[in-house]
Structure 1
């Protein structure tokens, strides 16, 4: 099994090899944030403690602990600016999800499981277009790389990280529409 502590560039190249069809990438723009949000909802219970921060009280939950650990992982893979960006996006999604855990058990589970299911539905539709299985099937670290890949793709679209994009495309190939009538490669 490959190490989860490979450099961000290597991880993004590996992930990109499973994501070259733009339709697949675009479904990931919806599905991955929904999944991160859903995890934020589901792991916002129980409250393990409260920390005082300059912004006020912060409930310490499994979601917050997972965010701290994933942030440490993103920031230690190289590509620090990208690590900061994905950590901020994940933090915002988890913060938006937290209030939903304060409702009834039914509402908490409905929001959490519902958005998780719909998020994965988007993922699998995208992989239909790609003609390939999701990257995490071959390497579980793909579950962490997914949010990083989505943030990177958005940043590429606005002209940021051009050299990283070029490196990824040189190794994984350019994006292209797969002919759905032809067998998957």
Structure 2
């Protein structure tokens, strides 16, 4: 069912690198990230966009979680990985950019937390899937995890990459989608 969100199954190298946890909405994702941050001091949280980093910084401050554990991917330093388990707070719309960042990490199953109300997912019609998923009994605080989900996200990212001739930077995923996709 979810594998159809972005298209048919197609293998990719990043399937082995990333492990997706997709929540119905951003609230469920934030709660899960805060819970992970409070229970696992070895996690370091990586945001691709400034807006995401600002949102999580606010919540980290509110729950007395060290904001030094929150890093913007553009400011990433390889030495920060030594004693930490990386967790991405979102996907970058282009899979190649994600792979470029992690190419020297020699890690697999790097967690990526996403929500179906994020612009990347909405671009592929997640708004139509959410009511069906709720009907199946999924709760806001439950994640959907499966290799098909990761494969579908990669396929979607590759479809986006095929449309982007010259990438324009942005402060948020939504702004990136507006600037780079002329649908």
After TM superposition, the score normalised by the length of structure 1 is 0.26
The structure with more helix, counted as a fraction of residues: 1
The structure with more strand, counted as a fraction of residues: 2
Structure number with larger C-alpha Rg: 1
After TM superposition, the score normalised by the length of structure 2 is 0.26
